[in-house]
Amino acid sequence: MGFEVLAKGNNAMRLLEGLGVAMRISLISVVISIVLGVILGVLVELKRPFIMAFFRVYLEIVRIMPQMVLLFIVYFGTTKALGLNLSAEAASIIVFSFWGAAEMADLVRGALGGIPVIQYESAASLGLTRIQTYRYVIVPQIVRRMIPLSINLITRMIKTTSLVMMIGIVEVLKVGQQIIEANRKSSPNAAFGIFATVFLLYFLACWPISQLAKYLEKKWEN
Amino acid sequence: METILEIKNISKRYDDITVFEKISLTVKRGEVVVIVGPSGCGKSTLLRCINSLEDIQEGEILLDGVVINPTSKDLSQVREKIGMVFQSYDLFPHLTILQNLMLAPLKVKKADKKETKKEALELLDRVGLLSKKDSYPRQLSGGQKQRVAIVRALMMHPEILLFDEITAALDPEMVKEVLDVVLSLAREGRTMVIVTHEMQFARAAADRMVFIDGATIVEEGDAKEFFDDPKTDRLRKFLRSFSYD
């Protein structure tokens, strides 16, 4: 079945390291996305026409453009056009954060806009100050709405990191390909074993996260 | 009886729409004033102005002789004294029933936690919802939520309660359970201003009735007289619209 290749040399370890690269890129990008996304989302919810127009264009670009094209633009394009020498990993973190910040901002905007005015009013009429209203009433509701959604974004990012091998990053999928190539003669079936393992690794990385999202969603459904 | 709320010649306008014009109303301690009128006559807006959720363009509102307006520095303190229950269920969905009741006393009044809890449980028991103390609002029916909302307002020991069409969004079979609570509060001498469309309830609860139409108070008076012997044509017509004979 081709699983025997895993036992050769340090192939199994290399695959895990490849997964590590993928996880590192996605987690750093997620953190940047959350920070930028929250700031941008709050700005958009202020409903200033200029910010809203900017955000719409930004969001459309992110949604329309395949991530791979963005990767190519940032990695190959900037080197020539701007004379910047970005590492492949930096380029992919920029692209993933660019994408994630837009999605996060949209989530934040939706969560903020989805809190009915009456929640602010009833808190105010109980004598809560503006700050207390946000602290005890509004923000907890927003966090509850957003955490499950942003966890889904994390799993999508982990999956999408498989694209970064196109700009030369040796992540789990690329490692798999290398192993298959190197063992083409001795284990012609390696492709199945290796890709099945890669599948399993992605599954193991994403499944607990999406279970957590499900759990929180259930716990917090209002 | 001592005057608790005094509304003096207030006017409310949005751009070129006048919601009401030069309305004056006085509420004494322990009095239950029920405001009725056709939809859109501004009766809900009037309540919201008392609580400074809306600003007014003219006149002034005094609670215990102190002027209330949306720019007051101590607006939060004034609102502590005014309990308000809204038409839409406005409980905080992320908190349990008990937490909903205890939030404002603990955070705003810095009240003692044990005493607050004891009081919350007593009041819940009184409205028949003690078993729901650890439930979340989504697990309650509309009528149960409104009863909790009333208790939540009571928890702040307000001097006056404002009820803004609190049964208008309820299924008919739940209206009575909520109004019974309000009626029992009326009987124990709470000061209340109630906006409602439930005429039978108004008759049972009100010390004084106020009829608003066309941006102004058309008629006000003792509840019995108001219903049995209306003085103005407009009120007669309005009251007739509720009967089928």
Is B104's CB within 8 Å of A119's CB? no
**pLDDT single digits (tens) B186-220:** 999 999 999 998 888 899 899 999 999 888 899 99
Closest residue in A to B94 (Cα) is A141
Nearest to A67 by CA among A36, A35, A99, A97: A99
The three-state (H, E, C) secondary structure of A89-108, written as one string = HHHHHHHHHHHHHHHHHHHH
Please name the member of A119, A124, A132 whose beta carbon is closest to the beta carbon of B107: A132
* pLDDT tens track for B28-57: 999 999 999 988 778 889 999 998 898 889
B92: nearest CB among A125, A137, A221: A137
Total structural domains within chain A: 1
What sign results for the dihedral spanned by CA atoms A157, A159, A165, A169?
Answer: positive
pLDDT at position B245 is 65
Placement of tokens 């509004």 in the chain: A138
The pLDDT value recorded for residue B242 is: 81
Q: Which of A93, A75, A92 is nearest to A84 (CA)?
A: A75
Which of B53, B94, B152 is opposite residue A141, by nearest beta carbon?
B94
Asked whether the predicted pLDDT for residue B145 surpasses 90, the reply is yes
Q: Do B82 and A124 touch (CB under 8 A)?
A: no
Size of interface A-B (CB pairs under 8 A): 65
pLDDT over 60 (residue B60)? yes
Sort strands B208-213 and B216-222 into parallel, antiparallel or unpaired: antiparallel
The CATH number of residue A94's host domain is 1.10.3720.10
pLDDT tens profile B76-102: 888 889 999 998 878 999 999 999 999
For chain A, residues with pLDDT lower than 70 are 1, 221-222
Q: Which residues on adjacent β-strands are paired with residue B3?
A: B28
Q: What is the mean pLDDT of chain B?
A: 90
Q: Domain spans of chain B? A: 3-240
CA separation for the pair B47, B244 (Å, rounded): 30
Q: Helices B172-187 & B142-154, crossing angle to 10 degrees?
A: 20
By CB atoms closer than 10 A (0-12, 13-18, 19+), residue A219 is exposed
Domain enclosing residue A17, as ranges: 3-220
Nearest residue on chain A to B109, alpha-carbon basis: A127
ipTM: 0.89
Look at B104 and A127 and tell me if their CB atoms are within 8 Å. yes
Class of domain B3-240 as given by CATH: alpha beta
